[in-house]
Amino acid sequence: MIGALHRLFRESFGAMPELVARAPGRVNLIGEHTDYNDGFVLPCAISRQTMVAARRRDDQQVRIVAGDLGGATTSFSLAEPVTPDSAAPWSNYVRGVVDGLLDAGIDLPGADLAIMGDMPQGAGLSSSAALENAAGLGLAALAGQPNFDRTRLALIGQRAEHRFAGCQCGIMDQLVSARAVAGSALLIDCRSLECSPVPLPDGLAVMIVHSGIERGLVDGEYNLRRQQCEAAARHFGVAALRDLDMLPDPGGLDPVTYARARHVVGENARTVAAADALRGGELTRLGELIAESHAAMRDDFAITLPAIDGLVALLQDAIGSQGGARMTGGGFGGAVVGLLPLSEVERIRGAVLAGYRTPDGQPPLVMIEAPAAGASLI
């Protein structure tokens, strides 16, 4: 990919880039919709990633070319306030990061940027967080800060989502893409932002199956879930649902909002327990927790779809008691994750390819992942 990226940069801007930054996508093993409730998540970074090649300019222009979008281009000036552009929505992640870096007092030069990645679109594997982090790190490096603090980088990416993309997301995607450790999942306390690597046991495979149902236009549902969780926290008199170890009686809370809270309170406990099970190599326990997580996302949080439930059931049946499967990510499409013995990969891949078809009738994309490292300059 790096050769193609260099070529794109040279053809677009007539010179070689000064540097290339990369940031990975992620798959969340467990801990869904807990991050914006100040809770726990257990994602790992994946080998699929986004790269941004960058070169300083002498003026205040920022020019961007997107290799994955047929060479689409856009530009803006640092001399004026940076704003979202509805004509090039793909560029809003970069615009938002530029605005965040400027707001943080980073003295950004003008820049030429070329973007390229190998993330499947609409799979819910955080291609936007990967783009934010790669662009942010590349720009910070151009401004003389190649070791820019990774937590700060993640917070700037999250700010870009909130202000430039309209998604009131939590911090999980940006933080794991910025701070992941190769070979490990990351147990993140989304209140303190403490990240504890949890090494994956030898012989455990992470399988990702893209349902082919693209996540799209679902920010409204996502933001609604967040509002419901915040309403539940207010009702129970806590700062965030993280503060509840046990679910209280509803006390007049409507059943839908109560069910949302039940998912989050249970999911926080499941996530901490799953990190322990992973550390201990207890695949059966891990599988049970992951199955409970999926059931709660389906029944209490209402973010799965019948076709996704069917794919998860297929994978769970094929895996049996040594591991488990669930939908991963924000919901309403995207990917399913399975944890299973490495020795069973080919049999289980075969079962998935034989038993599931995407909405356009194709066998699904199946990826076997080893946890990758967080954002870096290359």
Q: Nearest approach, Cβ of 35 to ligand GAF (angstroms)?
A: 5
User: Token digits for 110?
Assistant: 């003008």
What is the strand order of the sheet 335-341 is part of? 324-327, 335-341, 204-210, 365-369
Q: Nearest approach, Cβ of 249 to ligand GAF (angstroms)?
A: 26
Instruction: Select 94 or 123, whichever has its Cβ closest to ligand GAF.
Output: 123
Count of residues of this chain found to bind ligand GAF when the rule CB under 6 A is applied = 11
Residues 160, 90: Cα–Cα separation, whole Å? 12
266 binds ligand GAF (CB under 6 A): no
Instruction: Select 124 or 324, whichever has its Cβ closest to ligand GAF.
Output: 124
List strand residue ranges (DSSP E) for the chain, in order: 19-28, 40-41, 43-57, 61-66, 72-77, 110-117, 184-189, 194-199, 204-210, 324-327, 335-341, 365-369, 376-377
172 binds ligand GAF (CB under 6 A): yes
323 binds ligand GAF (CB under 6 A): no
Segment 88 to 127, residues that bind ligand GAF, using CB under 6 A: none
Among 98, 101, 130, 169, binds ligand GAF (CB under 6 A): 169
Which of these is catalytic: 112, 173, 202, 249? 173
Of residues 241, 332, 336, the one with CA closest to residue 291:
336
Of residues 152, 232, 242, the one with CA closest to residue 190:
242
Residues 366, 206: Cα–Cα separation, whole Å? 10
Q: Nearest approach, Cβ of 372 to ligand GAF (angstroms)?
A: 17
**SS3 of 107, please?**
coil
Give the torsion sign (CA, 167, 169, 171, 176).
negative
Instruction: Select 127 or 316, whichever has its Cβ closest to ligand GAF.
Output: 127
Binding mask 12-51 for ligand GAF (x = CB under 6 A): ----------------x---xx-xx---------------
Among 67, 138, 323, 329, binds ligand GAF (CB under 6 A): 329
Question: Interacting stretch for ligand GAF, rule CB under 6 A, among 78-86, 107-115, 168-176, 356-364?
Answer: 168-176
DSSP 275-307: HHHHHTT-HHHHHHHHHHHHHHHHHTS----HH
Continuous segment of H or E residues that includes residue 342: none
DSSP 119-166: PPTTSSS-HHHHHHHHHHHHHHHHTT-TT--HHHHHHHHHHHIIIII-
170 binds ligand GAF (CB under 6 A): yes
Instruction: Select 117 or 330, whichever has its Cβ closest to ligand GAF.
Output: 330
Q: Nearest approach, Cβ of 304 to ligand GAF (angstroms)?
A: 12
173 binds ligand GAF (CB under 6 A): yes
Binding mask 195-224 for ligand GAF (x = CB under 6 A): ------------------------------
Residue 256: C-alpha distances to residues 299, 301, 302 (Å): 10, 9, 10
Residue 17 is given by DSSP the state -
Among 67, 330, 333, 338, binds ligand GAF (CB under 6 A): 330
265 binds ligand GAF (CB under 6 A): no
173 counts as catalytic: yes
Summarize as ranges the residues that interact with ligand GAF (CB under 6 A): 28, 32-33, 35-36, 169-170, 172-173, 329-330
Which residues form the catalytic set?
A: 173
